């Protein structure tokens, strides 16, 4: 018997609507979090001016796991992994807004263990670590 894989993690990209693929490309090119408004700004180059189109595409990408929503910045960032099962946490540099995904089973496993013990049903988990990246700290050495 082969180990089962989650069916939802098979590459969803080809099935994405055109605008969702454009939004994904915009976020990948940016390489950092963009707000929905900034995404819409970039979409204008493709003749898309309707905000609901941008929001729908972003929602869809978040649902597929190709894009992560950053609650603290009200922004969106493209997943930096080929096959993401959801980040355990995302570290956000508050100066340059660069993000780094932390993945692994330890944190989700711990949270699930707590939820099981408390009989709490988790819908979503959003962990964001705010701070300054190594580059930004080097550039501004605190006295
Ligand atoms: Zn990811
Ligand atoms: Zn930084």
CA of 97 to the centre of ligand 2 (A): 6
CA of 128 to the centre of ligand 1 (A): 13
% of the chain beyond a pLDDT of 90: 62
CA of 129 to the centre of ligand 1 (A): 15
Q: Which residues are annotated as a binding site?
A: 93, 96, 133, 136
Q: What is the pLDDT of residues 107-128, one digit of tens each?
A: 888 899 999 999 999 887 888 9
Mean pLDDT of the chain: 86
* φ and ψ at residue 72, rounded to 5 degrees: -70, -30
CA of 78 to the centre of ligand 1 (A): 7
CA of 54 to the centre of ligand 1 (A): 20
Instruction: Please determine, for residue 37, whether its predicted confidence score (pLDDT) is greater than 90.
Output: yes
The highest-level CATH class for domain 15-139 is mainly alpha
Prediction pTM value: 0.79
**Beta-carbon count within 10 A of 20 CB:** 23
Please state whether beta strands 89-93 and 128-131 pair in parallel, antiparallel, or not at all (unpaired).
Answer: parallel
Q: What is the pLDDT of residues 53-76, one digit of tens each?
A: 999 999 999 988 899 999 888 999
Ligand whose nearest atom lies closest to the CA of 92 = 2
Contact 61, 67 (CB under 8 A): yes
The pLDDT of residue 80 is 82
The first and second tokens of residue 130, run together, are: 């705010």
Instruction: Please determine, for residue 130, whether its predicted confidence score (pLDDT) is greater than 60.
Output: yes
What secondary structure does DSSP assign to 87-119, as a single string?
Answer: -SEEEEETTT--EEEE--SHHHHHHHHHHHHHT
């Amino acid at each position: 018997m082969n180990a089962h894989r989650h069916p939802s993690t098979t590459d969803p990209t080809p099935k994405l609507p055109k605008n969702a693929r454009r939004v994904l490309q915009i976020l990948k090119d940016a390489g950092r979090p963009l707000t929905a408004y900034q995404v819409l700004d970039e979409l204008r180059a493709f003749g898309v001016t309707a905000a609901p189109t941008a929001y729908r595409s972003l929602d869809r990408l978040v649902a597929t796991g190709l894009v992560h929503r950053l609650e603290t910045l009200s922004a969106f960032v493209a997943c930096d992994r080929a096959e993401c099962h959801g980040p355990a946490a995302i570290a956000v540099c508050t100066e340059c807004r660069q993000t780094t995904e932390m993945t692994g089973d330890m944190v989700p496993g711990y949270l699930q263990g707590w939820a099981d013990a408390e009989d709490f049903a988790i819908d979503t988990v959003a962990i964001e670590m705010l701070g300054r990246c190594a580059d930004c700290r080097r550039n501004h050495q605190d006295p």
